Amino acid sequence: MNPFGSVTASLLVVNLVDAWLYGSLLAAVAVALTLVFGLGRVVNFAIGAFYALGAFIAYSFQRTVGYWLAVVLAVICVTVFAGAIERVTIRPLRGRTEISTLLATFGLAILLDGLIQVVWGTSTRTMASPIGGTVPVLGQRMSVFIFVAAALATAVSAGIWALLRWTGVGTILRGASQNASMAELLGVNTTALMTGLFAASAGVAALIGGFAGPIFSVRPGMDLDFLIDAFLAVVIGGLGSVRGAIVGAYLVALASNLSLTFMTGDVATAVSFVVVIVILLARPSGIFREGRAVT
């Protein structure tokens, strides 16, 4: 009669660990999204496709060069590719409305998702875990790689944070996000900066996709699920706030994993969306309403 009867403490803990892992992966991509939005008001709907592309390229190279090198190659390929895409599709839209770039990146998402299906087909692939072995968690066994991937993803977010805080590039980026025309006057080439930032953010997404490959399955459609969660994270946290994106990512991961503990698949998704809607009703501009400043 206890509604939590089937949910044991250990299952709950495993789900919490999963939430921490998923939150760490989401956070890095949410931060990347936030930076691109902050600098150029570009809402990048293609980031999910870059994430999926990273996973697929890593999958393809894994057998020949090994997992870690495959992930590095995936990041390089996606970064260069995304830089070229920005040059051709996003840069010409400067000065047009936010909706134009939103629609353009949305079209890119459709295009890249189709491209993935043409190249890799529609079947689901599984990647072997690069690090074997398991850790006992309250009687359940969890793969060591999960903890390694979560730690690495956290390091990526921390690295971006440190880059923004303590380096010259970070200062330029923060300044240009606050006032692009002033930055231009001071000699910053914001157009080139945008191309670089867009490419780098796609690279981060590809890296996270590479980490996600062995944990979740590699399949077409993985881009959309991840994209939606990343955007929910950014919106909950407050647009333009790096801190908010990180907090939002963990909240989204917690909401979806906790609801998965008690409910089945699609109901859990719906419930986590209701949680998000409730948060936004309470705080329409997100948890950290910092306006345009990237902090």
With CB under 8 A as the contact rule, the residue among 51, 231, 250, 288 that binds other proteins is 231
Q: How far is the CB of 9 from other proteins (least distance, A)?
A: 28
Q: How far is the CB of 270 from other proteins (least distance, A)?
A: 4
With CB under 8 A as the contact rule, the residue among 60, 89, 178, 191 that binds other proteins is 89
Query: Is residue 95 within the footprint of other proteins (CB under 8 A)?
Result: no
With CB under 8 A as the contact rule, the residue among 107, 139, 159, 291 that binds other proteins is 107
With CB under 8 A as the contact rule, the residue among 19, 108, 222, 246 that binds other proteins is 108
Complex with other proteins: residue 59 or 231, whichever CB lies closer: 231
Query: Is residue 288 within the footprint of other proteins (CB under 8 A)?
Result: no
Q: Is the separation of the CB atoms in 23 and 245 below 8 Å?
A: no
The stretch near other proteins (CB under 8 A) out of 2-10, 100-108, 141-149, 184-192 is 100-108
Q: How far is the CB of 261 from other proteins (least distance, A)?
A: 17
Complex with other proteins: residue 48 or 210, whichever CB lies closer: 48
Complex with other proteins: residue 64 or 264, whichever CB lies closer: 264
Amino acid at position 167, single letter: T
Q: How far is the CB of 11 from other proteins (least distance, A)?
A: 23
Query: Is residue 281 within the footprint of other proteins (CB under 8 A)?
Result: yes
Distance, CA of 28 to CA of 41 (rounded, Å): 19
Query: Is residue 112 within the footprint of other proteins (CB under 8 A)?
Result: yes
Name which of residues 32 to 71 contact other proteins (CB under 8 A): 37, 43
Distance, CA of 52 to CA of 29 (rounded, Å): 12
Task: Report CA-CA distances (Å) from 93 to 15, 89, 186.
Answer: 43, 7, 23
With CB under 8 A as the contact rule, the residue among 109, 183, 200, 205 that binds other proteins is 109
Among 152, 213, 121, which Cα is nearest to 24's?
152
| Relative orientation angle of helices 98-120 and 47-65, to the nearest 10 degrees | 30
Residue 218 makes CB contacts below 8 A (sequence gap 6+) with 55, 56, 59, 124, 125, 126, 127
With CB under 8 A as the contact rule, the residue among 115, 128, 182, 192 that binds other proteins is 115
Complex with other proteins: residue 99 or 185, whichever CB lies closer: 99
Handedness of CA 286, 274, 156, 21 (dihedral sign): positive
Residues lying near other proteins in the complex (CB under 8 A) are found at: 37, 43, 89, 92-93, 96-100, 102-104, 106-115, 117-118, 224, 228, 231-232, 234-235, 239, 266-267, 269-270, 273-274, 276-277, 280-281, 284-286
